Chains A and B, each alone.
Chain A
Amino acid sequence: MSDTTLAATRGNPALDLLRRYGIWVIALVVMLVLPKIFTSGAALTTMCLMGIMIVFSLAYNMLLGQTGMLSFGHAVYYGLGGFLAVHAMNVIAAGKLPIPLPVVPLVGGLMGLTFGFIFGAVSTRRAGTVFAMISLGLGELIASLSLILRGFFGGEEGITANRTKMLTLWGVRFGPQIEVYYLIASWCFVCMIAMYAFTRTPLGRMCNAVRDNPERAEFVGYSTQMVRFITFCISGFFAGIAGGLAAINFELMNAVNISGAQSGSVLLMAYIGGIGHFMGPVLGAVLVVLLQVFLSDITGAWMLYFGLIFIMMVMFAPGGMAGLIMLHLPLWQRGTLLQVVPAYGVMLVPALMGVAGAVALIETAHHQLVKTATEGPAMTLFGIAYTSNSMLPWIVALVLIGGGLWLGRLWGPRMAGAYSDAAHGKDLGKEVSK
């Protein structure tokens, strides 16, 4: 993991402190300020969802990134946590129990922990493919059961609750979304710190050992199975907290939350963000939530973009977004980051060409194939009106893509050269991006 490189460049203690904790301060400030900038209801709901998904994907990455366990069914713990939280909210509201809303996610967490304990006991005995497949089977089992056990899961309509009907603390009713945002943000921040702290504990370190070389970890005297099991439980706990937060945010839990689709999307978030770095899943959660919420508003072919973006990411940026950023950390430390800016700026030209061409091609094709029959061929893209059944837009799109690829190939080495010059032959970059 990369934080060793940070620690390596030790100097002024105040600067060191800033370097060590600066990122957390920044995160806190960003979280506090964001709702002041994006004030609309949808933006607030989206940011709440981001907070929830950040916790969930970080919990997931405890398994995948930290311990090397690929799970296809982590939504089970998220969903069960959420369901119990919703039931808890209803029970608390009905029985007038003196439990305030902010504590409810903990209920979800305990549910996640309990089921992590039960299912972890059977599934973490093996690593690798066997673990992955057991998680797939368990995930599908619970997802199917959620539609059969109507009493607990409420069928596909799910279970609803009302968060305002609970004990109020200091006059906060949690009716307005902004109050819920700050609740989620606080939980998110606390969970982030807790999960980061976990990576620094001896157990957290052992997880990495179990991931990288289980045999050696056994020889040192650790039970790899025990390490996997404990991590699994803790990960289930945090996933359950995320589920509890989701229950508060939507005041609704239903079968979708426990399904394979939810398990798949957390895997995507963690991976796209970058599983090799602690902050990766955070970036991934933000990006994927943005795409999920807003992409379908601007294009009918959103699934195609969604798929293509992921294919491109795994093909060309296997370290995820965090990997790309970490690649430039040594440059920043050496103070040579500015050197690469001109080369990158030049690359912007083919990049924009390629993207514009691809978007034009997809949108024109989508319009021609899907909409022309009912709405006619006239369409508008990038503020340009044209008809999708004429040849010109297709040619332009293909030329843009071709030109982008050609220029990219032509100038690519120069950019790579600029990068390695800036990094000055030191192999730090390679190591970090791993």
Chain B
Amino acid sequence: MLELVIFSTLNGVLYGMLLFLLASGLTLIFSMMGVLNFAHASFYMLGAYFGFQISQWLDFWVALFVAPVCVGLVGAAVERWGLRTVHKWGHVPELLFTFGLAFVIEEMVQMIWGKLPVDYRVPKLLDFPAFELFGTTYPAFRMFMLLISVAIFLVLLLVLTRSRIGLIIQAALTHPNMVAMLGHNVPKVFMMVFGFGSGLAGLAGVIAGPALVTQPSMAHVLGPILFVVVVFGGLGSLSGAFIASLMIGLIQTFAIAINYSIGDLLTSVGMARPVQGMLSDLWQVTVAQVGPVVPYLMLVLILIFRPTGLMGTRES
């Protein structure tokens, strides 16, 4: 049991940190620009594919630095020549723009790299078990992922709280109009933030690609959950996103480890479980099965009882 707890915690934290890498960019974009960026996970996928391609040509370590920059540039270009045009027509067109963009990116990736998973390997340097506990090994690359995400979190925190640009972004998060009135070039800040956020997603892709599978559907799987993180954590709150990421990572991982159903609970307190009827399945469902649904339930509940999210200060 102890080993399950330890590994579930490790895996949960790792998944949470991966979510945070993605969500941190999205929360900046969402809170500053109000854009519900449905293509954010697509940038994550682009990162994985760029990382794969560059490590084929050169080396993983080059890819680690170059691929996120490339993705960031793509993101900035999308903002400059796409979103900016749409911005003046409101948030729904922006959202639909990113909707279409996700389609386009997915199809392009399929055309260029094929529809099958690509053989994106963990670099030789990190291809060994980091430690062994109760006979289960934990790969070094996963530790490396954890390290990178923690480092990024710290850097982000420092930049946002200590640097001038960080202050402008912080201000723009909460009072976008005021910042514009103070004479800052808000469109330029938007472009930079969008590019930076996409770059972060790209970085997540580069390091997640070898550990998970790099394939065209990888964006789909993560898409909606990112919104849960951002909204649950609270708009405009990086630390909220951080807590939400970890929470969701841990909850999802631990839910998998639990095999009880509502029916079991009823039986254990001495009640008969209903077996007939159309909705009888409800009693058979185990916690493990509903694990992936839990985040959405959390989202709905927190929005009903605390519309600003966990740490947020505003509703939109």
Contacts and interface: CB of A to CB of B under 8 A. Distances in A.
A308 B100 contact: yes
A141 B282 contact: no
Given A140-B296, A301-B111, A271 B104 contact: no
Interface stretch (B53-61, B81-89, B122-130, B180-188): B81-89
Contacts of A138: 296, 300
Interface of B: 34, 36, 82, 85-86, 89, 91-93, 95-97, 99-104, 106-108, 110-112, 114, 224, 227-228, 231, 235, 277-282, 285, 289-290, 292-293, 296-297, 299-300, 303-304, 307, 315-316
B93 A311 contact: no
Interface in A133-149: 133-134, 136-138, 140-141, 144-145, 148-149
25 contacts: A126-B303, A126-B307, A129-B235, A129-B316, A133-B299, A137-B228, A137-B300, A140-B293, A141-B293, A144-B293, A148-B281, A151-B280, A267-B99, A301-B111, A303-B106, A303-B110, A304-B104, A304-B107, A307-B103, A310-B96, A311-B97, A311-B100, A311-B101, A365-B111, A366-B111
Give the residue among A64, A70, A126, A315 with the most B Cβ atoms within 10 A: A315
- A-B pairs with the 3 shortest C-beta distances? A307-B103, A310-B100, A307-B104
A282 to B, nearest CB: 18
B264 to A, nearest CB: 16
Interface string A293-325: 000000001011011111100110010000000
Contacts of A152: 278-279, 281
B122 to A, nearest CB: 27
A132 B280 contact: no
A108 interface: no
Interface residues of A, number: 45
A137 to B, nearest CB: 4
Given A137-B296, A307-B101, A318 B86 contact: yes
Contact of A136 (B100, B103, B110, B227): B227
B296 A141 contact: yes
Contacts of A310: 96-97, 99-100, 103
A301 B228 CA distance: 31
A136 B92 CA distance: 14
Given A303-B110, A308-B100, A366-B111, 6 more contacts: A144-B292, A301-B107, A306-B103, A307-B107, A314-B97, A370-B114
Nearest to B92: A70
Contacts of A133: 227, 231, 299, 303
A134 B209 CA distance: 31
Contact of A314 (B86, B290, B292, B296): B86
Contacts of B299: 133-134, 136-137
B107 A315 contact: no
